Structure 1
């Protein structure tokens, strides 16, 4: 299992539905996080006012063409991914009850191929990431209360720097959580096999004794 990065200083929530479609598979396979807002150009080097102007101009152009367009409402999300996120920050990606963690490894990346206002595309603004825990999620129920409460925020992106201490403790101890989970699965499977041996008509006395000993050592039959 890949170890986590220790002592993070900033963290973000990023939902995996850029431009209205679930792209969690893309996030994991391409080692990227993305937002929507196709505007026909890269946003590299833009300051906050530049981003605001570009989104407004794109809205006006879309409206002239008869499209409903409110890209400006996503200014905060665009500013977070393009300008505020830094290499080394942690991003928390909720996907139902599965919560993924990644370390941001690049500056802003523009992917022209996805700069299209259509279903399944429209997410050209990206960052490269390294998924923690071999890309496996933690369960929402395993997370500290503070993190679960922050995940109730419905927006696309949000800063959760206030929880960096909680996240450091969680990520530094998550290997143990996962190892315990895997060990419990092995124990459960062993108990199921022992119960089958204990009740099987063809089992020898010695096999039944060993099965009973295993079951009693855990105090119950699954």
Structure 2
């Protein structure tokens, strides 16, 4: 059963200005990948408050005014607002939308440089790839946002993602119902058997099924 108590975010795939979507969708030996933002040089942000992140951004990048507000909002959202099991949507120029379920924030020191620039990461599991045109207007609007990361302002139910994320059991249920009907038909034929034990066992199975269905 999918967890409907999650938040949804759109996110860009260019940490530190470098396109990383291919890295985001490639999986490791555990079948998982990652998503990341830029801003190297400010260290591990685990348990850092918004104010502490603000001070680090000012010290490293000398941001001020609206620029500081925008970038602080992005970094703090990725580190503190996004939670384990939340959904991150990333779109490409082919109007495909990659839906990831993300894990907790982690700092990867080896990427804390201007060449890699993606030390702030979250482990990610790619759930599904959709066409942007298939999404509800509210999600399409979210994906048009130019910010590094933006939260969906509506409840999860408004996203319409459940029809792709919730396993579709209709085919399975149909096959199961068909199997049950065939089994009951076989048992009914066995009620006409010349063998008394066959008739008794068939009757028992039918009565047991009927008893379960009546509960």
- TM (normalized to structure 2)? 0.67
Deviations 1:5-36 (A, max 9, x none): 34143111111111111100111114111000
TM superposition shift of 1:45: 1.3
Superposition pairs of residues 22-33 of structure 1, within 5 angstroms: 22-30=19-27, 31-33=33-35
Size of the aligned set, in residue pairs, is 159
2:77 maps to which residue? 80
TM superposition shift of 1:40: 4.5
Match of residue 98, structure 2, among 87, 97, 100: 100
2:49 maps to which residue? 47
Instruction: Look at both structures and tell me which one has the larger radius of gyration over its CA atoms.
Output: 2
Separation (CA, whole Å) in 1 of partners of 2:2 and 2:74: 25
Structure 1 gaps, min length 5: 63-69, 180-222
2:197 maps to which residue? none
Secondary structure in 2 matching 1:132:
strand
1:36 maps to which residue? 38
TM superposition shift of 1:173: 3.9
Secondary structure in 2 matching 1:165:
helix
> Could you say if the C-alpha distance between residues 71 and 34 of structure 1 is closer, same or farther in structure 2, counting changes exceeding 3 Å?
farther
1:139 maps to which residue? 131
1:116 maps to which residue? 113
Deviations 1:71-126 (A, max 9, x none): 77411111011111111211111112010101122x211111111123xx111101
> Could you say if the C-alpha distance between residues 72 and 162 of structure 1 is closer, same or farther in structure 2, counting changes exceeding 3 Å?
closer
2:123 maps to which residue? 128
**Contact 1:58-1:71 at 8 Å conserved across structures:** no
2:86 maps to which residue? 89
Separation (CA, whole Å) in 2 of partners of 1:7 and 1:40: 34
TM superposition shift of 1:130: 1.2
**Contact 2:42-2:56 at 8 Å conserved across structures:** no
